[in-house]
Amino acid sequence: MTRADLLIRDATVHDGSGAPGRVLDVAVTGDRIVAIGPRLDIAVAEVIDAAGLVLAPGFIDVHTHDDIAVLTRAGSTPKVSQGVTTVVTGNCGISAAPSPLLRRDVPVPPLDLLGDAATFAYPRFADYLAAVSAAGPAVNVVPLVGHTALRARAMDSLDRPATDEEIAAMRRDLVDALEAGAIGLSTGLAYPPAKATATAELIALVGDVAAAGALWTTHMRDERSGVVSAVAETIDIARRTGSRTLISHHKCCGEAAFGLSQTTLSMIAEARAELTLDLDVYPYTASSTVLIETFARDSRQVTVTWSDPHPEMNGRDLGDVSAEWGLSQTETIERLKPGGAIYHQMDDGDLDRILAFPPSLVGSDGLPRDRRPHPRLWGTFPRVLGHFSRDRGLIPLETAIAKMTGQTARVLGLTDRGLVQEGYYADLVLFDPGTVIDTASYDDPTARATGIHTVWVNGKPSWSDGAPADAGIGKLLTR
């Protein structure tokens, strides 16, 4: 090696494997990492002095609702500004395609997290993938297909188990999406349109996922006081189908559920001895989704994030809105719908325990459509690095980085990303370990993180000098 395009000098390289950082030079040519070593002697076009900074693999946001956000470059700024270079779309049963509007004029909640009816313009999964490629995303995109979208296509009423014919229709759509390149299927069993899903329906669909060697991600049936039985159901389906399985945004909501992560994590640890079972988590004690009365009931406090009929209530406390309108909480929610909310409903002890659990991955679950989004959209990754690792010492820096890079790539089956290693794609983030921190808060939810210097996607800068690049440098990463 005598020539390269870019040399990043004297960075403390955290390679994403969980190994401690080492001061090294890293050379990039085209879209690949071509050399790593102490004091590389290479002729280069550009040198970056990275002394005192950490160089890590670009972060992989394993849990997003960025299906539509990736179609515009500005839509990915919340992620790029945090050092994210790859996003997994289509989570929680919610995907932009295939269109869930076969039998309806409007998307049933929570599909409307992604947008209104006009959003669902892709009849088949392949049509959506073509749109992503044509748009030239700012980040790499790893797409899942959502079970609730399939259910909405196959069924007239969603509050019951599917019939054999409906299951067969969903399986045709699922196989079509997997063949087009979806990396797997997501389910959102806690939400009304999927809550009545019978185990047989899940076994059939997840069985197809397993047969394709794909991944099943699941927002489980219950994340409240029934979370233990929801984990048991997940493990049972994983065992019966043999599918690789990822539990989404693991959490224990509502006081009656506080502390249950002790039980769920030991169940997961035990199941991992025989199954490929993983989990992700976001670093906050408030959740966020569409407005649902039962979610509000278990919460200390609820903030409205969007409301189509009452946009003037975006950012307002739900209790205050109720008082102002002289309505009960249920009536207030009915009047605000369709809409979304932030629900303060978790305990710090569970969050710490889940985040520190070695297999857990970091995913934002950010909601880019929300007018007053949960701060996880803009803050997740720097918050884990700055707040949980550096300031609180919950996990070492190399562990925090592995949970957003190498470990994640392994779960997703990405074989040439997620590590700083020769031959791997040059998805990289350079940040200041002393200052990196989230600044987005519940009051100021779109504030940009601090301490992220430069981000590269496929060898090209995607974030530098506090601004995103205006170039579609991300790739669609299909199966």
Q: Can you give the binding site for Cu ion, defined by CB under 5 A?
A: 91-92, 365
Shortest approach of Zn ion to residue 265 CB, angstroms?
Answer: 19
* Least distance in angstroms from the C-beta of 113 to Zn ion: 9
Least CB distance to Zn ion at residue 15 (A): 31
Our CB check for Cu ion shows the closer of 25 and 298 to be 298
CA 407 from chain centre, in angstroms, equals 14
Nearer to Cu ion, 295 or 431 (CB): 295
> Angle CA(278)–CA(187)–CA(165) in degrees, nearest 5?
135
Choose between 235 and 290: whose C-beta lies nearer to Zn ion: 290
* Structure-block tokens of residue 303: 């903030």
Q: What is the C-alpha separation between 363 and 342, in angstroms, rounded?
A: 17
10 Å Cβ neighbour count for 449? 23
Interface residues for Zn ion in 82-121 (CB under 5 A)? 92
CA triplet 69, 75, 80: central angle to 5 degrees? 115
Residues 6+ apart with CB under 8 A from 257: 223, 224, 225, 227, 350
For residues 270 and 238, give the distance between their C-alpha atoms in angstroms, rounded to a whole number. Answer: 13
Q: In this structure, are residues 378 and 366 in contact, taking their beta carbons and an 8 Å threshold?
A: yes
Q: Read out DSSP for 76-111?
A: GHHHHTTTEEEEEES-TT--S-S-TTSS-SSPPTTG
- The region, left, alpha or beta by phi > 0 then psi within -120 to 50, assigned to residue 344 is beta
The binder of Zn ion chosen from 219, 250, 374, 390 (CB under 5 A): 219
Q: Which residue is nearest to Cu ion (CB)?
A: 92
Minimum Å distance from CB 412 to Zn ion?
17
Burial of 115 (0-12, 13-18, 19+ CB in 10 A): middle
**Which does residue 147 bind out of Cu ion, Zn ion, none, counting CB within 5 to 8 angstroms by kind?**
none
Least distance from Zn ion to the Cβ atom of residue 236, Å: 20
Instruction: Pick the stretch among 49-57, 150-158, 217-225, 271-279 that binds Zn ion (CB under 5 A).
Output: 217-225
Closest CB to Cu ion among residues 53, 114: 114
Nearest distance from C-beta of residue 249 to Cu ion, angstroms: 6
- Count CB neighbours of 185 within 10 A: 29
Nearer to Zn ion, 11 or 92 (CB): 92
Nearer to Zn ion, 14 or 79 (CB): 79
What is the size of the binding site for Zn ion (CB under 5 A)? 2
Does position 250 interact with Zn ion (CB under 5 A)? The reply is no
Looking at beta carbons only, is 107 or 451 nearer to Cu ion? Answer: 107
In angstroms, what is the minimal distance from the CB of 365 to Zn ion?
6
Burial category of 2 from C-beta neighbours within 10 Å (exposed 0-12, middle 13-18, buried 19 and up): exposed
Q: By the criterion CB under 5 A, which residues form the site for Zn ion? A: 92, 219
